Structures are given as structure tokens and as C-alpha cells.
Amino acid sequence: MQQQKQGNPAVVGLGGFGLTTMVLQFHNVGWMGIGPVIWLGLIFGGLAQMIAGFQEKSTGNNFGYCAFTAYGSFWISLALLLIGNQFNIYVSSKTDIGWFLVAWTLFTAILWIGAMRIHGAMATTFTLLLIGFILLDLAHFGYPQLTVVAGYELMLTALAAWYMMAHVIFADVFGRNILPVGNPWIKV
Amino acid sequence: MHSIRKLTRAALIALTLTVTTLLTHSAAVADESAATPDEVVTKVWGAAKVLQTKGASAIPSLNNADGPWVWKDSYVFAFDCRLDRMVAHPMRPDLVGRPIMQVTDNNGKYIFKELCAAATAKNGGWVEYQWTKPGAGQTSRKLSYAVTADLAFSTGIQVAAGVYDETLSLEQLNKMTAEMADPGNYSH
């Protein structure tokens, strides 16, 4: 009996991760307001990425399971945090948001090590993400001008995530590997 | 004879007191509608603190002509020196979102270039220019105090407010502000 073809949840997870990361940077460099970041953060970066994360469970991919579920939670939390500020519900100051970002930086550092064992594209994405988080941490603790540097750097992170998404989708639709992802940075 | 002298002295004291009271009262009445420099500093610091605490969600309150940042004959306005853009102006909604750096007063002074320079100082700074007082038909001498407000996911925006006054000097105002910022350094 022929087994039904399964989709790869990573295409949704990477799509949502990349797109919301991208729009936040459009805000960070000053091109647009925060509104679209909140709503996209709740739905694509949040809900969709989190569902993709849960779907990773049945594929046996613990890295994707953890990463997509966690970064989906990141976006939902960030959006709710900003909505909370609007409605005076547990208001989060710039310093509070700074510490929120520090915690995510530490979490990302763990996944970064794992990413280096997966393939070059994943290692590149997580290296850029980690650097972006560190820049945002510094921007929230005394170096606000780094917000713009973080903005452009994290746009590259978003593009790297979309590259991996495109790698999976193109391999499927073209029937061959179009976009190489490179060797793991850590070889055992 | 002695009692007449006593009576005259008492009458003179009473008259002096009455005149002094009347003068003080009229001065108070005249000042009641005019914002004072210390009020300006307090309001600007208050607005900067709200932006630090609540982020971008605090900006709409700065655009509200009936909000907490409009008082007597003054108001707080916010602008972004890096992006060359008016962020909030409760009296002139037509200016919001528009470039600011080319704005000059009647004497050709680039108002926002000076406000932006003043806002980079540690405790902010005062700038003198000509501007129309709310409700008045012509411009008058305005002294505005500007600071940079820190907010999440931003390089910071500048916040300012001013007094309409013909006599106060910038030196007096900067000294007063330094004293308010660090009262410990000044003994009375």
C-alpha cells in the first residue's frame, strides 16, 4: 500500500518565523509602525509557527519541535506584551522588554549549538539570530542606536530562514535539490 | 499725640499690606494661564518616562489636545530626529508624520536642528525661537526644553515643550534644569 505523502511542517514554521522577523525589522529601522508586527506576530509568527512546531513532534524532529513551538510562543508573548502596554495590563517597560530579550538570547544560544550540527543554512540562520538578539539586548540597555543595526542584521536572519523554507518547497516542486543547505558546521 | 502717630503707623502698615497682597494676587492671576519653566521640565520628563514605560502605545496620548500633555498655554510635542519626522503634536496634527528639519522660524532659525542638538545632552537642553502661541495670531518668543526619550524597539524619540517668555535667558533655564535633575549638587 502506497503511503500518503506528508508535508513538512518546517515550511510553515520557517515562513512565519521569517516573515514576522522581517516586519519587526521594518519597524526597528523606522520604515513602519508597530501595528502589523503585533497582528502578524499573533497569527503567522505565533499561531501558525506554533502549530507547525507541534506538528514537528510526529516527524520525530526535536529541534524543529522545540524551535518552532518556542519562537511561536515568543511572537504571541511579544504581541500580547505590546497589547498589554496599550491597555495598561501588566505594563512592560523598555527595561522589562530588554530582560525578556535577554532570556530569549540565552535560549537561542542553546539551539544555536544544535543548529551547527544540522546543516550550514541552519547554522547561518541561528548565528544571525543570536547576533540579532545580542544587538537588541544592547539596544535595550544603553545603546539604542543599535536597534537599527539589529534591524538590518535580523533582516538577513529572516532571509536565511526563508532560504531554508524555499529549499524544502523547491526540492518538492522541482523534484530535485535546487538550493543547497551546506554541510553541518559541527561534524561528529 | 502718641496715639495718633501709632494709628498712622498702623494705617500705613495696613495699606502696604493691602497693596502688596493686591499686587501679588494680580501677578498670580496673570501667571495662571502661562506655563512655567519648571512645569515644562516636569511635563517633558513625565512624557519621556511614559514612553519608556509604555513604548509606542503612549504616542497617541501625546497627540490628544485634551490629554495630560496639554496644559495652560503649553503642550508636549514629540519628534524623531533620526527619521526627520514629527511624531506627535497635539496642536498641529497637520505636522504629524511630516519632515521637521527644514522648519524655520521667522528669523530663519532651523528650530528642530537646534532642538535635536539640545536633546542629545545628558539632561536635555533649552532652545529659543519664534512660534505661534496656541490661540494667538502672531508668533512670540518661545523657549523649549527637549530631551530624548527611550522606548523599546526604537532608537529613541525626542520630546519637548516650551514657555512663551520675553525675558528668561537660556542660561537661567539650563541652570534651573540642572538643579532639578540633580538637586543634591545644589544647596540653598
Residues B126-153 as b/e (b if ≥16 CB within 10 A, e otherwise) read: bbbbebebeeeeeeebbbbbbbbbbbbb
In this predicted structure, the answer to whether residue B29 has a pLDDT above a threshold of 50 is: no
Nearest to B56 among A34, A98, A136 (CB): A34
Q: Which residues from chain A sit within 8 angstroms of residue B154, using beta carbons?
A: 28, 144, 147
Distance CA B32, CA A47 (A): 55
CB contact under 8 A, B154 and A82: no
- Give the residue on B whose Cα is nearest the Cα of A25: B153
Distances (CA, A) of A134 to A174, A184, B82: 38, 23, 22
* B147 phi/psi in degrees, rounded to 5: -135, 170
Distances (CA, A) of B148 to A186, B11, B52, B111, B124: 45, 56, 10, 16, 7
Q: Tell me what pLDDT residue A188 has.
A: 83
Task: Render pLDDT for B54-64 as a digit per residue (tens, 0 to 9).
Answer: 999 999 999 99
Q: Which residues from chain B sit within 8 angstroms of residue A28, using beta carbons?
A: 153-154
Q: Which residues from chain A sit within 8 angstroms of residue B57, using beta carbons?
A: 82, 85-86
Distances (CA, A) of A38 to A154, B26, B120: 17, 53, 30
Q: Interior CA angle at B62 toward B58 and B65, to 5°?
A: 140
Find the Cα–Cα–Cα–Cα dihedral B109, B94, B131, B32, rounded to 10°. -150
Task: Please tell me the distance in Å from A178's CA to the nearest CA on chain B.
Answer: 36
In this predicted structure, the answer to whether residue B35 has a pLDDT above a threshold of 70 is: yes
Distance CA A106, CA A77 (A): 17
- Give the residue on B whose Cα is nearest the Cα of A151: B153
In this predicted structure, the answer to whether residue A77 has a pLDDT above a threshold of 50 is: yes
Q: Tell me what pLDDT residue B102 has.
A: 97
In this predicted structure, the answer to whether residue B145 has a pLDDT above a threshold of 70 is: yes
Q: Tell me what pLDDT residue A125 has.
A: 98
Strand partners, B129: B142
Task: Render pLDDT for A101-127 as a digit per residue (tens, 0 to 9).
Answer: 999 999 999 999 999 999 999 999 999
Nearest to B153 among A28, A88, A93 (CB): A28
CB contact under 8 A, B154 and A147: yes
Distance CA A91, CA A120 (A): 40
The answer to whether the CB of B143 falls within 8 A of the CB of B152 is no
Q: Tell me what pLDDT residue B33 has.
A: 87
pLDDT band at B27 (very low <50, low <70, confident <90, very high): very low
CB contact under 8 A, B52 and A24: no
For the stretch A92-99, contacts whose Cβ atoms lie closer than 8 Å and that sit 24 or more positions apart, written own/partner, are A92/B55, A92/B152, A93/B52, A93/B53, A93/B54, A93/B152, A94/A140, A94/B52, A94/B53, A94/B55, A94/B150, A94/B151, A94/B152, A95/A140, A95/A141, A95/B52, A97/A140, A97/B55, A97/B152, A97/B153, A98/A137, A98/A140, A98/A141, A98/B152
Task: Render pLDDT for B156-187 as a digit per residue (tens, 0 to 9).
Answer: 999 999 999 999 999 999 999 999 998 887 76
- Give the residue on A whose Cα is nearest the Cα of B81: A30
* B186 phi/psi in degrees, rounded to 5: -125, 125
Q: Which residues from chain B sit within 8 angstroms of residue A140, using beta carbons?
A: 152
What ipTM was assigned to the predicted interfaces of this complex? 0.90
Distance CA A108, CA A100 (A): 12
Residue A123 is given by DSSP the state H
The grid coordinates listed for A160 are 536565511
Q: Tell me what pLDDT residue A153 has.
A: 98
CB-based contact, B136 to chain A, within 8 Å: no
Q: Tell me what pLDDT residue B23 has.
A: 47
Q: Tell me what pLDDT residue A148 has.
A: 98
Task: Render pLDDT for A145-155 as a digit per residue (tens, 0 to 9).
Answer: 999 999 999 99
Distance CA B120, CA B116 (A): 7
C-alpha count within 13 angstroms, C-beta hemisphere, residue B149: 32
The grid coordinates listed for B136 are 494667538
Mean pLDDT of B41-65: 96
Distance CA A35, CA B60 (A): 13
Q: Tell me what pLDDT residue B46 has.
A: 98
pLDDT, greater one: B19 or A185: A185
Which residue is listed with cell 523534484?
A175
Mean pLDDT in chain B?
88
Strand partners, B140: B131
What is the β-pairing status of strands B77-80 and B85-88? antiparallel
In this predicted structure, the answer to whether residue A66 has a pLDDT above a threshold of 80 is: yes
Q: Tell me what pLDDT residue B137 has.
A: 85
- Give the residue on A whose Cα is nearest the Cα of B157: A144
Q: What is the pTM of this model?
A: 0.88
